[in-house]
Amino acid sequence: MNAIVESRDSTSAFRSKGASVSASQRFVLLLKREFWEHRGGFLWAPLVTGAIAILFSLFGAIAGSLMFDGRNMRVNDLSFNGAGGVEAVRHAVGFAGDIALLVGTGITTSVLVFVVFFYALGSLYDERKDRSVLFWKSLPVSDAETVLSKAAWALLLAPALAVVIGLIVGVTLWLITAGMMLVNGIPGAEAVFSRSHPFRVLAHVLSTIPIYVLWALPTVGWLMLCSAWARSKPFLWAVLLPFLGAILISWMGGVTGLAVPYGSVWYTLVVRGLLSIAPGTWYLNHDASPQRVNGPTDLANAIDFSSTWQVLGTLDLWIGAAIGAAMIYAAIWLRRHRELAD
């Protein structure tokens, strides 16, 4: 009897001794853990790609400046005589500045697409494959917390990091463009500064992040579900199922002669299921796509962020997000209940 009393006492004693860990502290540590493991993809991949882009444009600018002899250029002989012509040049130069700014995020986010794709696909599979899941599961961290920390990286943190790096790259490219134009005495070069819209571009790019979270949810959810479910080759399952599904439905439509909405089938399964991790794919939804970009003014309109936010008004985005959330829930369930194959 003594032992029982004693053990109760000491149990409560060492319960109070241990400092409790709050859920938010734990989640922050889980996020850190993902960064430790995937630093290469999240940080170095966009950083290195951005640096290479800067290096190339710098080489290009220097080489171009050396070959281009500004003294021989006679502006008045060119076709854009007159006040309107100069104005057009300034417009074009400003446009070039905007493009330079956007190219930065374009480069880093296209790297991001690959990083997020393979990260999500491996997020719950790799730990099972190397059996380290047995270590993670020996700690008092719930499956929901673990899976959500991985989803948070795929949907929010990795894109945000890529965008921030992309903006830095973009500003650098913008300065290189401006520098090159000024050095070579291109008429209207100062318009890079006066006619570009750096803050609008920045605001626009940052404003797409919340949309990205919701838009990419079905794809990230699908990839994580495959990652949690596949016993082997999650890549094949994740890619082939939507494609085969779309092909099968199209083929059935062809055979039976039913009016299958082919476009919608392919759009739903392949674009929303697999490609929605690419930023900007929301423009494929017709309700959200801007008017065609024909020139500088249109570009300025296109990057007006209110137009991007139109996608928030589409059912497409919200249904996709709901399905994505459900798939992440299923991934949590699988990680909790699925047995490891020995």
Partner 1 sequence: MNAVASHDTGHDAVVSARELRKAYKSTVALDGTSFEIPPGRIIGLIGPNGAGKTTALKAILGLTPFEGQLKVLGRDPRTQRDELMNDVCFIADVAVLPRWIRVGQAIDFVAGVHPRFDREKCERFLANTKLKKTQRVRELSKGMIVQLHLALVMAIDARLLVLDEPTLGLDILYRKQFYQRLLEDYFDEQKTIIITTHQVEEVEHILTDVMFIRNGRIVLNAAMDEVSERYTEVLVSADRVDAARALKPIDERALPFGKVVMLYDGQQSAGTSQLAALGETRTPGLADLFVALMKGTYA
For 149-186, letters b (16+ CB in 10 Å) and e give bbbbbbbeebbbbbbbbbbbbbbbbbebbbebbeebeb
Rounded to a whole number of angstroms, the minimum distance from the CB of residue 137 to partner 1 is 7
Angle between helices 143-152 and 198-229 (to 10 degrees): 140
Could you say which DSSP state residue 288 is in? T
Residue nearer to partner 1 on the CB measure, 32 or 261: 32
Rounded to a whole number of angstroms, the minimum distance from the CB of residue 229 to partner 1 is 16
Rounded to a whole number of angstroms, the minimum distance from the CB of residue 149 to partner 1 is 11
Q: Which residues bind partner 1 (CB under 8 A)?
A: 1-4, 7, 10-11, 14, 17-21, 25-26, 29-30, 32-33, 36-37, 127, 130-142, 336-337, 339-340, 342
Rounded to a whole number of angstroms, the minimum distance from the CB of residue 239 to partner 1 is 25
Residue nearer to partner 1 on the CB measure, 258 or 340: 340
Rounded to a whole number of angstroms, the minimum distance from the CB of residue 328 to partner 1 is 18
Angle between helices 158-183 and 82-122 (to 10 degrees): 150
Measured CA to CA, the distance from residue 334 to residue 305 in angstroms comes to 39
Measured CA to CA, the distance from residue 229 to residue 120 in angstroms comes to 13
Residue nearer to partner 1 on the CB measure, 136 or 243: 136
Residue nearer to partner 1 on the CB measure, 27 or 243: 27
Rounded to a whole number of angstroms, the minimum distance from the CB of residue 25 to partner 1 is 7
Residue nearer to partner 1 on the CB measure, 24 or 76: 24
Measured CA to CA, the distance from residue 220 to residue 233 in angstroms comes to 17
Residue nearer to partner 1 on the CB measure, 98 or 143: 143
Q: Which residues contact 18 (CB under 8 A, 6 or more apart)?
A: none
Measured CA to CA, the distance from residue 284 to residue 226 in angstroms comes to 25
